[in-house]
Structure formats: structure tokens, C-alpha cells
Structure 1
């Protein structure tokens, strides 16, 4: 069966999903996205994802054309239409079409696209580098929302690939750790798990929030010395929790993050 996507109120085959050439998400990266986890046919943490999306929309002055309950219904409908009960969903919201130039239209009509995907096949562990080609701006409000422009993360991942690794850790402008390209960084120091605060440029991740609420992880600034002396490192997002087994080519303890699993 062909993949079906939800586009502006309709479920249609993905190959037939057309977005105008003047859509500002395409021309300017003017939009937001959320990636959500699908487990047992249920989309997890929709209220938390909606809250982050709404915060981003408020920052961008982008009107959301749905509320949390409607977002849940759209996501669930898309998963069911693709006969998926496990995997993930990607929700993309752009400001829609607009004239040339930077200023958006006064009455935008957002484009909403939802796609569903099966659980990705990934290695259980990753090697990582500390990216040198780009830094995360912890002072920018955009560091706390999921905007469509992911070029800094892409550049860091390309650097990782060129250096024989699968992931890159991003430093902020102060030289401390902000996070990884695809999620939050978790660092174990002795018996304590730590993660950088959002004031350091860390994305307010959904699983990160659950881990902090559980008391199993605490916030603290993380410098490069702490990275290299860590008992264990892990990359966290809503889909995976992956230990880092090497940093800049140096082996790290392959300690499983089982104590954090299930959150």
C-alpha cells in the first residue's frame, strides 16, 4: 500500500502531495516541526508536543490552525491510515504561501503536513565527535523550538561522517555542551545522570522533560572536560536512547542506559 500523508485536511498518497513553490517553509524555512513516538497505536505525549509547538508558533507569530485534541486526532488518523501501530509521526507546519521578501503575509494560511513511518532501523550504540564546524547560539530563542532550518545540525552530522562517526555533539558559544544533532545529551558522572539546561542551548526535549521529572536526571552545565571524563554518555529523543561508545575516536564505557529506559 502506498504511503498516505495528511495534508491540509486530507489524507492523500504521498506521491500526490503537492506544496506550492511559494510556500515559505520551502523558500525560507519558515515553519516548525515535531517528531512523535507511536506505541501500541497511541501517539505519546501529544500535550507536551503541542505545548512546544505552540511556544514556537507564538515566537514566530505563526497561527496554529488546530488545538491539542485536533492535533492528536490528525496524528492518530494518519497512523491508522498507514496501518501503523509502532513507529513515529512527523508533523510539519509552515506559514504557507507568501510574496517574495522576508515579511510574511498579514493573514497567513499555514500548511500542515503529517507523515507516518515505521520504527527506524538503527545501531544500538553510536560513535560521536565534538563538532568544530558550527556552534549553537544559546542566546537565540530559536534554540528552544524545532524550526525547519536544521542546517547547523546537518553541517555537524556531515562533519561526523567525514570523521568516521555517526553523531556529533554541539557546543554553545561559551564552549560548553548544548546537545546532539538529533536529541539531548545525557552524561553520567559517577552515579548521577546530567543534561545541559535549556539556557545552555539545549532543546527542551520531550523525553528529557520526563527524565527530569522522574528525578533520574538533573540539569547542570557540561564542559568538555566533563564530557571526556564521563562514566557514560547517551543521546536521547522520543524515538531512541542510544549510548555513545566513542568520543573523538576515544573509547567510552559501553554502559547501557537501562535505568533510563521506559521514560
Structure 2
């Protein structure tokens, strides 16, 4: 558990387990602790590198706007700092967007990519979710004081007084439109998409995402020879908020990371 100096930013990360490296990127207003419920299961097979993203947890950086692209560069810089030429990357929600941008911007660094509850375009969220995201600002931050996420932030952040600024920066990020469909279709590595069946993202968007990766287009055949390199998991009985803590998550992720897979294309 330590800091890495990357491009003028002190990024907090912690390591658990041994084996091939797996980078974990948490959701909005979270931290590396987000993965605590599934850490033991993942660390039994992998070397986990859990990161506090820019502006979150123990990592500062709120002196500039939050952007998925710059946070992806942070992750790439951390991998290079650690001397890792390639790693698997798993991102959840906000961290999923950062993981996806890392794969798009730095494909040589990402061996396999796992995206949990992450759309490929902003309009992939339900309309009511987009409306709630658009309202994130300093006033919302005040209403969120005393919640578990605020208590954690107040305990570990280098500047706990930046809680309202984090919400302002996050709101600015979440109101920005994006559509990465062309970049997704060109990804060179296998991708696992994981969604809850009661997610904040419609199952139809999950199917559209999978199709961009070459999935869901044809029968794999009796011997599975036409199976796509990427995979889709829709986990039953879960929501956007509890999917990351469910034992069903490592049960879906670990076989994907360890099973031989041909390259997409």
C-alpha cells in the first residue's frame, strides 16, 4: 500500500496476491476498498493492483477537471511505473469507463479487459440515471455528508475539504456526452462485459455492446469454433450497486482471465 509519482500526480495503489497482474478500478466516489468483498477470491489467482483514481480515495488531482481520457493516462503511467509491460484491467462503473479508455488509448498495455456495469456511450444509461448524474454538484455533496462514501473520503483523502469539489468535478464529467462505439469495435484484446440483470444500464445496451465486440452474431457451432473472443455475463438478482460485491463476479471473471482465447477478428 503506497503511492506512485506518475506525471506529477501521487497515485495511491495497494497490492494483494500473486500471479499475473490484474488492475482494479473502482466506481465514482469510491476507492480501492470497493473490491474488498471479492478481493480474497481474486487474489487467490491474481496479483491485484487496486488503484484510487484521480480525485478519489487517497489520490489527489482535483486541481484540474476529471476526464476519462486523462485518468486512463494515469493508469497507463502507473503500469509503466511498476514495470508492467501488460496487465489485465477490470473497471467498475466510472472505473469501467477509465478501463475502457485505457484499452483504447494504450492497447499494448492491456492483455484482457473486464468492464463491469459500464456503457460504451453516455446514452447507454437509463434516462433517470442520466438525470441523476446531471445533478451532481456541490449541493448534492452537502446532502451526501455522513454517508459511507463521505465517511471513507473524510478518513483517507489528502484534502477531506475537497468533498464538494469532487462532486462538482464529477458532475462536469458525467454531463459530457461520448460515444466510443467505433473505438470499441477496433479493440484488439478479448473483453468480458459484466452487467447485473437489474443494472442502471439496459440489458439491450449490453447486447449492443457485445455485438460491437463480435458477439451475439452467429451460432458458435457444435465445437464452439465460431465462439467470439469476448464474452458477456448478465448476473441474475443483482443491481448496479451490489454486483461488484457479489461472489458471482469473480466466478465470471476468473475463467475469462485464465481460459485460452483467440484474438478478436
Q: TM-score, normalised by structure 2?
A: 0.26
Higher helix fraction: Structure 1 or Structure 2? Answer: 2
Higher strand fraction: Structure 1 or Structure 2? Answer: 1
